[in-house]
Structure 1
Amino acid sequence: MPDLRSAVRNALPPARSDLESLVKIPSIWADPAHRDDTRRSAEAVAALARDAGAASVDIVAAPEGAPAVLAHWPGPPGTPTVLLYAHHDVQPTGGDEHWTSPPFQPTERDGRLYGRGAADDKAGVMMHLAVLRAFRELRGGPPVGVTLFIEGEEESGSPTLTQLLAEHRDRLSADVIVIADSGNPATDVPALTTSLRGLVDCTVEVRMLERPAHSGVYGGPLGDALTALCRLLATLHDDKGRVAVTGLVHNTSDAPDLDEAQFRSDAAVLDGVDLLGTGKLVERLWQQPAVAVLGVDAPRVAEAANVLLPSARAAVSLRIAPGQDPAVAQRALTEHLVAHAPWGVHVTVTPGAAAAPFELDAVGTVYDVARRTFGEAYGNAAVEVGIGGSIPFIAEFARTFPGAAVLVTGVGDPASRWHGIDESLHLGMFEKAVLAEALLLAELGESTGA
């Protein structure tokens, strides 16, 4: 193990350099203007995998899908195969002008590396590759069989992942799946994510008139569609901020609750603003539904005219609790919006994306090894956490490979601001994460006689 720690330390400087190179590539697959950048990002990851000693490296894609990287390192006879997952695509910046430093120009400040994708999830890509480089230096290759799968459309909801898993099922089959797309509660406390909420989206449109009408001539007896839409959207919550859609799953949790002051600070909540819902924070975040209005189609304030709008629409997102059927949740949301339409307005609900929630019991030898090695690397015991967000591909992996132990981990912390302005990676935590995964693979190999 001292030799392994030394090899990990040697792998970190080039991993940091390569991470910065990847961050400079604006691989926003969701934006058609960056499709070539996403392909360039996949090519860069494939080159890094070859440099790390992979026996085979391919860039694969489903029709109309983003490029993914699939590489393999054979292990000693009799050892398990471990699938290492991360993704190389990133979110849009949210407006470059809002960033302290340019989002695709990696910049270090106070021990953190800032840039879009620095944490989510190019750090996960480089964590895997740093581990593989360390084992190449130490023993010529990993102590177990390793398949590296780096997806290219996770931030778009993984729409073609099912096709990729079906087409490459034999090459992706593994005994253990390590998914590096989650986070830790603190930079020195490792976590195993054991539950994630699912997601259903829809677009709701309200129509009142066949055409715009003058607000002075007709206003009073006639309303406007935007006001009607606002009244409809307000019915999604009750007066305490709880989701008012009936027929949804609500769970409880035995996990220790979060510190509210720390939560408010991490989320940058303004003074005096109430939190929504009731009960423990961990239940509201991990085990209960949450609904949000993500966007509204309406005239801009600077372009507004004195007319009654004939129609208006909004994008609605519903996070669903573990155990919830997405199809049932989508019907419940649709029925609520239709039933609560004010003033007899015409309502059309168009279903959007759907993602299943995920929950597992972290019981068994692989999870025991993970807790032990992660605790050794971080200096603190690993904890089990849930995540309020949705990572749809995890449930897909679990369905496709039901016999595999799934470990959901990652290199984010509450200050990483995934998907937000000034996303960053804590470099000290990155080192711990690389060591943790290296120790995990080493012990999995030793337990089978490698």
Structure 2
Amino acid sequence: MGSASLWARTRGPSQKAHTAEITSGGIWTVAPQLEQERAVTGGGYSTPVGVTRAEPEVNVPHPQVDAVARRAQERVADAIEQLKDYLAIPAISCEAEHADDVRCLATKVRDDLSAMGLQHARVLELDDALPIVAADWLGAGRDKPTVLIYGHLDLQPVAGEEWSTPPHEATVVGQRLYARGSADDMGGWVSHMVSLGAWLAETGTLPCNVRLVIEGEEEIGSPNLERFMDAYPEAFEADAMVLTDCENPSDAVPGLTVSLRGLLEVELHVRALSSDVHSGLWGGMVPDVSTSLILLLARLLDDDGRLAVGRVEVDEARRAAGADVPLTPEIIREGAHLLEGVEPLPLRGTSAAEWMWWQPAISVVATTLPTPAIKKNALRQEASATLSVRLAPDQTAEEMMAVLRSVLLTDPPGGVQVELRADGWAGEGWLYTPKGPAFEAADRAYVRAWGRPLVQVGVGGSIPFVALFGRRFGDLPLILNGVMDPLTTAHGPNESMHLGIFGKAVLANVYLLDELGALGRDGIRS
């Protein structure tokens, strides 16, 4: 962490908040209170939707929580080295040749969880599935809640990507750790390992009961996660769940994810001829399926490139929350790697958050259009495109398909034959209203660790396991957090994790366990 500092809101014996600076060496010093009011009120951001900002009743903290926080911070440097060891294993779940790497990493994580003091650390197996690591610590007592912490250890592939550093050799540059999986999602669950280990090392106990589940197939859509839930139900029994695979608006603003877009893959096929024909003889006289395909795709967009079809109404509460999120043009340019002179699409009177999180989007991810390497003077008989359709959180695949059929199948150019079909699979979107004691506890924990409350955010991507957890455990509090930020570049080259976010996540996890434990089992859902 170098000389970087982390900030935490702590509670002294008088229960009055004070601000403490935690240096990389673990030394705490009380800092001036110039920013206290700003931190408590959200640093200039309005109240996130669904979270009570009136002064909540403060739970009495665990008497050793500050000592645990110090120990956790002292362990951050070692945790980064442990994280580097994990990242060196190419646990790429979508490539069969790396299945043994996924299993190797699962075994290593199991052994480390056992060594740090968690109980029943084991690798769960099913036929035709990559493993899940599970562990627990249930010694807090029946009156304390059981909190399930979920993460995933598998990685996206790196083949064909141009990295500035080796993708499986974690490299620190400035305040960022570069490696595939650094933030998505190993940094997320490793931050919980640090906080759990600090509690056990300092006190010999945890303030609540804990179960830990680390999946090996998230990056391929969690196809067997529900089978694991059915086969090993005891591993998922909990009173609240913390799901770590999400993003923060910036390295200074913590995020609580409350919505995800769904995902639908659609194939668009255009046919005009029974065989390829000479472009010199017939060009200009009969339809060119390549240009017909382009004309059809253009129907989906307005003149500025914004999606013109399938938009949804966004309620005023979400619009107000989205306006608070610091997604500036500068952050968008850097995070999306825009070339010089290229601008983000116009906002049209709303926020970047609304377009990225709560409206649908369509991207062309593959085509059969001729490549420059095949310069054949011919009109092709057919052309096709694969569309990745991101559904609004509360939009169904059937609703979007009805819109696409109306737009793309009506009056095709030149009378070409058009076929539109979904591939039979759709990832559900997810829209959640966080309320109740568990979320007030989470908010207090983040104020203590980050110096400001959580901002409720959405994620433009699709995370199938979240919808599954919501369907199976929707009556439980689901707290979605993580260590990603807009510059993480998850799933792309040069994926990275901000080290300051990791350090603050460790502290937030320490305080979150304290706050949830203080609620008691009966109070966590009341």
Query: If the TM-score is normalised by the length of the shorter chain, which range does it land in?
Result: over 0.9
Cα separation, partners in 2 of 1:229 and 1:44, compared to 1, 3 Å: farther
Residue 327 (1) aligns with residue 391 (2): no
Structure-to-structure mapping, 1:287-306, within 5 angstroms: 287-306=358-377
Provide the C-alpha distance between the structure 2 equivalents of 1:183 and 1:244, rounded to a whole number of angstroms: 27
Residue 423 (1) aligns with residue 492 (2): no
The alignment partner of 1:254 has SS state of: helix
Contact 1:66/1:153 (<8 A) preserved: yes
Residue 50 (1) aligns with residue 114 (2): yes
TM superposition shift of 1:449: 9.2
Q: In the alignment, what sits opposite 2:130?
A: 66
Contact 1:320/1:357 (<8 A) preserved: yes
Q: In the alignment, what sits opposite 2:477?
A: 405
Residue 283 (1) aligns with residue 346 (2): no
What are the Cα deviations for residues 297-324 of structure 1, in whole angstroms up to 9, with x where unaligned? 2332122211211222211011111221
Residue 438 (1) aligns with residue 510 (2): yes
What letter corresponds to residue 216 of structure 2 in structure 1?
G
What are the Cα deviations for residues 198-250 of structure 1, in whole angstroms up to 9, with x where unaligned? 1211122222222222212222222332222211111111224332334x533
Equivalent residue for 1:186, pick from 250, 262, 280 = 250
What letter corresponds to residue 320 of structure 2 in structure 1?
D
Residue 265 (1) aligns with residue 334 (2): yes
Contact 2:253/2:455 (<8 A) preserved: yes
Q: Which moved further from structure 2: 202-211 or 282-291? A: 202-211
Provide the C-alpha distance between the structure 2 equivalents of 1:62 and 1:296, rounded to a whole number of angstroms: 36
What are the Cα deviations for residues 16-63 of structure 1, in whole angstroms up to 9, with x where unaligned? 112111111112212223222222222222222222222212323454
TM-score (norm 2): 0.80
Q: In the alignment, what sits opposite 2:419?
A: 348
Equivalent residue for 1:85, pick from 128, 150, 156 = 150
TM superposition shift of 1:124: 1.3
- For structure 1, the residue ranges without an aligned partner over 5 or more in a row are none
What are the Cα deviations for residues 167-192 of structure 1, in whole angstroms up to 9, with x where unaligned? 33342021111111111112122111
The alignment partner of 2:183 has SS state of: coil
Cα separation, partners in 2 of 1:33 and 1:335, compared to 1, 3 Å: farther
Contact 2:270/2:416 (<8 A) preserved: yes
Q: In the alignment, what sits opposite 2:262?
A: 198
Provide the C-alpha distance between the structure 2 equivalents of 1:335 and 1:155, rounded to a whole number of angstroms: 33
Contact 1:101/1:107 (<8 A) preserved: yes
Q: In the alignment, what sits opposite 2:164?
A: 100
Q: In the alignment, what sits opposite 2:16?
A: none
The alignment partner of 1:428 has SS state of: helix
Residue 254 (1) aligns with residue 320 (2): yes
Cα separation, partners in 2 of 1:33 and 1:383, compared to 1, 3 Å: same
Cα separation, partners in 2 of 1:330 and 1:135, compared to 1, 3 Å: farther
Q: In the alignment, what sits opposite 1:128?
A: 192
TM superposition shift of 1:104: 0.8
TM superposition shift of 1:334: 4.3
Provide the C-alpha distance between the structure 1 equivalents of 2:188 and 2:364, rounded to a whole number of angstroms: 30
Provide the C-alpha distance between the structure 2 equivalents of 1:329 and 1:62, rounded to a whole number of angstroms: 35
Equivalent residue for 1:172, pick from 219, 233, 236 = 236
Q: In the alignment, what sits opposite 1:19?
A: 83
The alignment partner of 1:222 has SS state of: coil
Contact 2:146/2:521 (<8 A) preserved: no
Q: In the alignment, what sits opposite 1:35?
A: 99
Provide the C-alpha distance between the structure 2 equivalents of 1:344 and 1:30, rounded to a whole number of angstroms: 40
| Superposition CA RMSD, Å | 2.1
Contact 2:287/2:416 (<8 A) preserved: no
The alignment partner of 2:139 has SS state of: coil
Cα separation, partners in 2 of 1:203 and 1:10, compared to 1, 3 Å: same
Contact 2:442/2:515 (<8 A) preserved: no
Cα separation, partners in 2 of 1:10 and 1:157, compared to 1, 3 Å: same
Cα separation, partners in 2 of 1:228 and 1:122, compared to 1, 3 Å: same
- For structure 2, the residue ranges without an aligned partner over 5 or more in a row are 1-64
What letter corresponds to residue 241 of structure 2 in structure 1?
I
Contact 1:206/1:228 (<8 A) preserved: yes
Q: In the alignment, what sits opposite 1:233?
A: 297
Contact 1:190/1:375 (<8 A) preserved: no
Contact 1:250/1:289 (<8 A) preserved: no
Contact 1:185/1:414 (<8 A) preserved: yes
Q: Which moved further from structure 2: 277-286 or 418-427? A: 277-286
The alignment partner of 2:320 has SS state of: coil
Provide the C-alpha distance between the structure 2 equivalents of 1:317 and 1:193, rounded to a whole number of angstroms: 22
Contact 2:213/2:235 (<8 A) preserved: no
TM-score (norm 1): 0.93
Provide the C-alpha distance between the structure 1 equivalents of 2:411 and 2:300, rounded to a whole number of angstroms: 9
Cα separation, partners in 2 of 1:89 and 1:333, compared to 1, 3 Å: farther
The alignment partner of 2:373 has SS state of: helix
The alignment partner of 2:226 has SS state of: helix
Residue 116 (1) aligns with residue 185 (2): no
Equivalent residue for 1:384, pick from 433, 447, 456 = 456
